[in-house]
Amino acid sequence: MHVIGQNNFKHKQGSVGYDNRKFISLEKEATGDIEILSSLGLITIDNKYNTPDIRLSRLGQLVFELLDESKIYRSMFQLKSKLLKEKLENVLSEIGNKHLASSITCINILLAIFERITKRHIDGNNGDEDVVILSKGHAAPALYVVMKEYGLLSHNLLNIGKIDSPLQTHVTAPNRYIKVSTGSLGQGLSIANGIALAAKMDNLNIDVYVVLGDGELDEGQIWEAALTSTTYKLDNIIGIIDRNNIQLNGYTEHIKRKEPLKNKWIAFGWHTTELFDPDPYLLLETIDEVSVIKDKPKMIIVRTESELKR
């Protein structure tokens, strides 16, 4: 059987639904196939009119949704995020729920990054390896959980913080995918700049991801580094701000004002995108989109649910 209308279901960015009428009309010559589909209960045919009105049945809709690869991918990705958050909660309970919010809100960010790294690696990227820097090093548990998911960490996550465990509560190098230790805030972007500069010198095709906390933006060094990135046109840097609106002692806007955040990054010469409560798939798509932009470093501000009480 020729696969009807498969093209209609090829992934289109941002589109999740489809017009089933259009779908059927495109394929109306294929009467033999229609009979098969009808006998399987995937479509309904109403012969009241001159031209038969052919529609997808409920079952048909489900089947075709499943054929929509991007949609399956997206659902699986969402499921993965949910499962990882549960795992993370177990890990965090081992250390008294230290920095819980900060870890939870950056799960999706790290998930998108490691998914992209894995994909790029499979697709072949000249063997050059992307670099992830978790500048908000207190979210180490989230990093460990995501890395474990991708088979990049072998340690037992539940041993985090135990005196004989290599899993420190703040990110500690070295590991092939953890290039630098963090924990003291505000230093990740400068480090990313250094790696990005070296990659430019060596003509390496890598992306350097740096995950920043919103509270962390209080550190002046972030803004020193932001200008170094633009001065050197470091378009191999993809910054992601976990804008969860919480820092250690309260809401970010009470402690030190960050808004208007997007305008600040734009003013500093960054290509800046803002996402509102994105699922990891949208994040992945956005990273893909911005990664090709030339001559500017890229910042993605990820606003998450917990930002409501400003």
Interface ranges with other proteins (CB under 8 A): 131, 173-174, 179-184, 186-187, 190-199, 201-202, 220-221, 224-225, 227-228, 231-232
Token code pair at residue 209: 């991801």
β-pair type (298-303, 271-276): parallel
CB of 12 to other proteins, least distance (A): 38
Q: Residue 212 forms beta bridges with which residues? A: 241
CB of 163 to other proteins, least distance (A): 18
* Burial label, 104 (beta-carbon count in 10 A; 0-12, 13-18, 19+): buried
Q: With respect to other proteins, which residue has the nearer C-beta, 73 or 177?
A: 177
Task: Kindly give, in sequence order, each residue whose CB lies less than 8 Å from that of residue 56, ignoring residues fewer than 6 positions away.
Answer: 20, 23, 24, 42, 43, 44, 64
Identify whether the C-beta of residue 212 lies closer than 8 Å to the C-beta of residue 188. Answer: yes
Q: With respect to other proteins, which residue has the nearer C-beta, 183 or 269?
A: 183
CB of 2 to other proteins, least distance (A): 51
Q: Can you state the angle between helices 140-149 and 107-123, rounded to 10 degrees?
A: 40
Q: With respect to other proteins, which residue has the nearer C-beta, 88 or 241?
A: 241
Other beta carbons within 10 Å of 227 = 13
CB of 297 to other proteins, least distance (A): 14
Q: With respect to other proteins, which residue has the nearer C-beta, 81 or 135?
A: 135
CB of 184 to other proteins, least distance (A): 4
Q: With respect to other proteins, which residue has the nearer C-beta, 18 or 268?
A: 268
CB of 87 to other proteins, least distance (A): 27
Q: With respect to other proteins, which residue has the nearer C-beta, 33 or 128?
A: 128
CA distance 39 to 193: 61
